[in-house]
Amino acid sequence: MILIKPEEGHFESYREGLVRMSSMPNESFYKAETEDLEEIIKDIPGFIAKLDDPDGLAGDIRLPSGAFVPRLPGFHRWMWDGQVCGTINFRWNKASTELPPYCLGHIGYAVFPWKRGLGYASEALRQVLIEVQPLDMPYVEITTNLDNFASQKVILNNGGILFEQFTKPEISGGGEGLRYRIMN
């Protein structure tokens, strides 16, 4: 598995994954993209451009709660093993390592369910950590749910240290979470 920059030539594979995900009731990571798939297809180049936005200029983003918030600088990568099998993204605040309350961590990732258990998330996180080293951040933060043991393992496999248990703000879905730090 390698990470690739999203591009139009791989979009059909991504779209097929979203369509397949839409039939899985408990999978929410791709909810916004799945709901907006018809709109995305109308402007694939525009959608792809927003996935690599190191200046955070591509307009507000919609949170799972439906609220719109300012976009942070960031980028997405697609996990690729001959087809798109997941995504990982990195976002940051150019002024500090602190993030606004609506952004729970610097990195988010998800592997399509039919590709889980192959080590793709751990490898994707390893590759992204290398890619962000030039930003000279002392650490990155990653959050997960208390019961997401697979994600906790991915973070620990990459040197994550549990920083705190916290209550997620309602704008981010609420509930209890764990925040890990990975030192650079």
Q: Is the pLDDT of residue 11 over 70?
A: yes
CATH for the stretch 2-137: 3.40.630
Mean pLDDT, rounded, of the chain: 91
pLDDT digits (tens, 9 = 90+) for 36-73: 787 788 899 999 999 999 999 999 988 777 788 999 99
Identify the pLDDT of residue 154: 98
> And the tokens for 42?
């109308």
Predicted model pTM: 0.91
For residue 86, name the pLDDT band (cuts at 50, 70, 90): very high
The arithmetic mean of pLDDT across residues 146-170, rounded, is: 96
150 DSSP 8-state letter: H
Instruction: Supply the DSSP symbol for 24.
Output: -
Q: pLDDT exceeding 70 applies to what percent of the chain? A: 93
pLDDT digits (tens, 9 = 90+) for 98-130: 999 889 999 999 999 999 999 999 999 999 999
Of 116, 108, 112, 103, the residue nearest 150 (C-alpha):
116
Which positions ≥6 away from 40 have C-beta within 8 Å? Answer: 15, 33, 47
User: What does the pLDDT read at residue 184?
Assistant: 84
Q: Is the pLDDT of residue 8 over 70?
A: yes
pLDDT above 60: residue 29: no
